[in-house]
Amino acid sequence: WQRKGLPWVVKLVAALRVQRPELQLCVVGPEPAEVAHLFADWQGGYTLAGWSDQSPYPGFDVLLHPAKAEPYGMVISEAMAARVPVVISDVCGAAVHVTSESGAVLPLSAPLDAWVDAVEQQLSRCDPVPQFERSWGWVAKEYEQLYSKIFADRQMC
């Protein structure tokens, strides 16, 4: 949860709740007891859902994923496939698939205000998020190209 940026999310949502006091944060993944201390100053406005095999994406207005290091971030593509906008860090591998129509990608060095603005834009949007599609066939083709390049590079050695 630290690598995934939960402490930053807590600060970010606390700042958003100044203008949107009814805003709710749902934390999916870590054990509630492990992260409850992050909400010591909160008076409600959050749910610690713990681990789930199936995240309730249709119930979310935006996915926040300011990870410090994330090889891909399957949760990002799953949210976009469910037409949920995303606001993520630029170190997530899935960032290459995030378009301006599906959300925002920010550097971790961006100030809190920039993150607040990006989330506010997604919460205020009127247009639907296009559905993200990345078929297994597409993934297989990417891997085939990758392995062909690796094989060719090894032949040169």
- pLDDT (mean) for 41-70: 93
pLDDT confidence tier of residue 157, bands split at 50, 70 and 90: low
Q: Indicate the average pLDDT of the chain.
A: 93
Asked whether the beta carbons of 47 and 23 are under 8 A apart, the reply is: no
Q: What is the DSSP letter of 121?
A: H
Strands 103-106 and 86-89: parallel
Unique residue bearing structure tokens 């925002």:
104
pLDDT confidence tier of residue 70, bands split at 50, 70 and 90: very high
Which run of H or of E encompasses 25?
strand 25-28
pLDDT at residue 145, as a whole number: 85
Q: Answer whether residue 54 shows pLDDT above 70.
A: yes
Of 39-48, 100-109, 136-145, the range with the lowest mean pLDDT is: 136-145
What distance lies between CA 131 and its chain's CA centroid? 16
pLDDT at residue 107, as a whole number: 98
pLDDT confidence tier of residue 2, bands split at 50, 70 and 90: very high
pLDDT confidence tier of residue 11, bands split at 50, 70 and 90: very high
Unique residue bearing structure tokens 């713990």:
50
Asked whether the beta carbons of 38 and 93 are under 8 A apart, the reply is: no
Q: Answer whether residue 138 shows pLDDT above 80.
A: no
pLDDT confidence tier of residue 149, bands split at 50, 70 and 90: confident
Burial (Cβ within 10 Å: 0-12, 13-18, ≥19) of residue 70: buried
Opening angle at CA 112, ends 129 and 83, nearest 5: 10
